[in-house]
Amino acid sequence: MDGTSKTRSLRFRGLAFPGVEVLPGAVRRAMRAGEYDEALIAAALRHARTDDSVLIVGGGPGHIAGVLAARLGVPRVTVTEPDPRLAAMIRGMAEENGLPRIALRPGLVAGAPGQTRLSAPKDPFGAVPGSAEDGPEVPLLGMAALERDHAPTLLIASPREAESLAMAESPFPGLRAAILCLTPDRDGPAGTDAALAAMAAAGLTYAPRHSAGALLVFRREA
């Protein structure tokens, strides 16, 4: 099974999501109930504009990309996702719902392009770079190339630690806003510090009124 099978599918936020058998049961139940990742979806809808070029780092099942492309009509939504199972879900979701404006970039965001192996846990959200010989080999996506090719104006990131470290090396000259979901178990202290440093270097200011818990919003002051 490559993650694209339609033997199990569900609808979430008016969109069809095929291949959901790769998701943990708790995630499937939350999506069926329409209650998955509500805070991040609300923040994305609040801060995205119809003329944005959105870069989503860590796309998960593709729910944020799908909502922005289908509901707001955002013309350019680029999604990175290192786990091949989740990347296949994003591809299937975009095809099933007729959303060609979603551009999938499978791989792990890094300082420079290359290849790496991921760990292969049962939960695809837990996959991290490692040396496991049985893990999938995935591309490393150079952050500078992503910026050059997609010129993001809005960044939405649920980064792994290595991706946060790569973000800290990038100036993000065109960003007007960013939404980060940072959790210690995934990012680690070094990753969290790096992500915050990246926002400061990009000239974005923390917006506490729009942030809550692990969900942090940053905006460029007028």
Give the domains, in start order, of the chain with CATH numbers: 37-219 (3.40.50.150)
Q: Kindly report the number of other CB atoms within 10 A of residue 152's CB atom.
A: 23
Give per-residue pLDDT as tens, 98-138: 999 999 999 999 999 999 999 878 899 988 887 667 789 99
Element (H, E) at 56: strand 53-57
Pairing of strands 114-118, 137-142: antiparallel
Residue owning tokens 């946060």: 164
User: In whole angstroms, how large is the CA radius of gyration of the chain?
Assistant: 16
pLDDT for the residue numbered 132: 62
Q: Place 1 in a pLDDT band, splitting at 50, 70 and 90.
A: very low
Q: 32-44: string of b/e by CB count within 10 Å (b at 16+)?
A: eeeebbeebbebb
| Prediction pTM value | 0.94
What is residue 213's DSSP assignment? Answer: T
Higher-scoring residue by pLDDT: 1, 61: 61
Residue 9 identity: S
**DSSP states along 72-136:** I--SEEEEEE-SHHHHHHHHHHHHHTT-TTEEEEESEEESS-EEEEE---SSGGG--EE--TTSP
41-99 per-position pLDDT tens digit:
999 999 999 999 999 999 999 999 999 999 999 999 999 999 999 999 999 999 999 99
